[in-house]
Amino acid sequence: MMRGSIGWSCVLSVACLLAPLAQAKEPPRFAWPDGQKAAVNLGYDDALDSQLDNAIPALDRHGLKGTFYVVPANPPLQLRMDDWRAAARNGHELGNHSLFHQCSARGAGREWVKPERDLDRVSVAQMREQVALANTFLQALDGRAEARTFTAPCGDRQARDGDYIAALGDMFAGIKMVGGTAVVLDMATLDPRNVPAHVPVDASGAQLIALVKEAARRGTMISFTFHGIGGDHLSVSDQAHEELLAYLDAHRDTYWTATFLEQMRWVRGQQEKAKAARPD
Ligand SMILES: [Zn+2]
């Protein structure tokens, strides 16, 4: 058949006419490692006691791995170093959440930010050095020399003299930023240095499960940033957390629950593959 010509049988067939339209509408689905529909990262910020006492035992019961963004300068980490070391040995990721957890003290709800930890008073160069030192600390804690991931405290990026997150360059395999959409909208254009993270507070199990289902519907990922589990600040109940974990455990064919580092390595690999395949 000549190029561009259409057989009569095809012209008369509605399905034949609509097929190219349907193909054009559906972008190719992003490939996850074992054909799952979505990736889910269970992230926990601030190294809280309730994470060691409640979250990690729950993850271990379900054989799931989480990512814990710890703050070296905070007592919960200093007082229970052996417990955190054991969590890392057990396959959980220890991530960088800066050395001193600096956030801007400006605006409502930021009264708790101490003057010596006010991001508005720290320079970009100081933040960069402290974040690099936090990586060295983490390596001393868990013995891992590999790449790390980072979550910006409070989702803030503006230091005294500029955007310190931008100044981190390629220091990290992935960076989570709070704010933006809960579920990633498009994997092809996702910037690993600016991955939206969702912070659930007082959420029910059903609400958490609805979010992972939305990620599966889109074929993308959702990155949770929990804080307290069954205690501490910005908490989610043990029951809601357990319901989400049980759901992910029971639907492993649909959800790839893994550390943020593993997921960012995978996403970068897939994005590079797609780039190499694209004609210039
Ligand atoms: Zn934090």
CATH code of the domain containing 243: 3.20.20.370
> pLDDT digits over 227-261, tens only?
999 999 999 999 999 999 999 999 999 999 999 99
Whole-number pLDDT of residue 6: 39
Q: What percent of the chain has pLDDT over 70?
A: 90
Q: Which residues contact 245 (CB under 8 A, 6 or more apart)?
A: 42, 58, 59, 61, 62, 64
Q: Select from 237, 236, 257, 229 the least CA-distant residue to 66.
A: 257
**221 forms bridges with which residues in the sheet?**
39
CA–centroid distance, residue 46 to ligand 1 (Å): 5
> Per the domain annotation, does 244 fall within a domain?
yes
- Quick check: is 24 in a domain? no
Q: pLDDT (tens digit, 9 = 90+) per residue, 149-173?
A: 999 999 999 999 999 999 998 999 9
Q: What is the pLDDT of residue 9?
A: 45
Q: Is residue 2 part of a domain?
A: no
Give domain status of residue 8, yes or no: no
Contact 123, 159 (CB under 8 A): yes
Quote the ligand 1 centre to 98 CA distance (angstroms). 9
Q: How far apart are alpha carbons 223 and 234 in whole angstroms?
A: 16
Q: How far is the centre of ligand 1, averaged over its atoms, from the C-alpha of 232 (Å)?
A: 12
- Tell me the two tokens of residue 133: 């030192």
pLDDT band at 2 (very low <50, low <70, confident <90, very high): very low
pLDDT band at 27 (very low <50, low <70, confident <90, very high): low
Q: From ligand 1's centre to the CA of 110, what distance in Å?
A: 13
Q: How many domains does the chain have?
A: 1
Q: Read off the tokens for 127.
A: 């933040």
- Quote the strand ranges of 138-279, DSSP E: 149-151, 158-159, 162-163, 174-178, 195-197, 221-226, 255-257
Chain segment 52-70, per-residue pLDDT in tens: 999 999 999 999 999 999 9
Domain assignment of residue 106, yes or no = yes
Give distance in angstroms: CA of 279 to centre of ligand 1: 42
Nearby residues of 40 by Cβ (< 8 Å), 6 or more positions away: 212, 215, 221, 222, 223, 224, 248, 255, 256, 257
Q: How far is the CA of 114 from the centre of ligand 1 (A)?
A: 14
Distance 246 CA to ligand 1 centre (A): 26
Cα 111 to averaged position of ligand 1 atoms, centre (Å): 15
Question: Does a structural domain hold residue 7?
Answer: no
Cα(134) to centroid of ligand 1, in Å? Answer: 14
Is 38 among the domain residues? yes
**What distance in angstroms lies between residue 78's CA and the mean position of ligand 1's atoms?**
16
- Domain interval for residue 205: 31-275
- Residues 139-147: contacts with CB under 8 Å, at least 24 apart: 141/81, 141/84, 141/85, 141/88, 141/94, 142/84, 142/85, 142/88, 142/89, 142/94, 143/88, 144/88, 144/94, 146/261, 147/172, 147/173, 147/261, 147/265
Rounded CA gap, 111 and 106, in Å?
8
Under the banding of pLDDT at 50, 70 and 90, the label for residue 90 is very high
Cα 7 to averaged position of ligand 1 atoms, centre (Å): 63
Cβ 198 vs Cβ 223: under 8 Å: yes
- CA 23–ligand 1 middle distance (angstroms): 43
The answer to the question of residue 265 being in a domain is yes
State the distance from the centre of ligand 1 to the C-alpha of 151, rounded, in angstroms: 8
Alpha carbon of 153 to ligand 1 centroid (Å): 5
Ligand 1 centroid–CA 73 distance in Å is 12
CA 93/CA 89 separation, integer angstroms: 9
Report the distance separating Cα 177 and Cα 69, nearest Å: 13
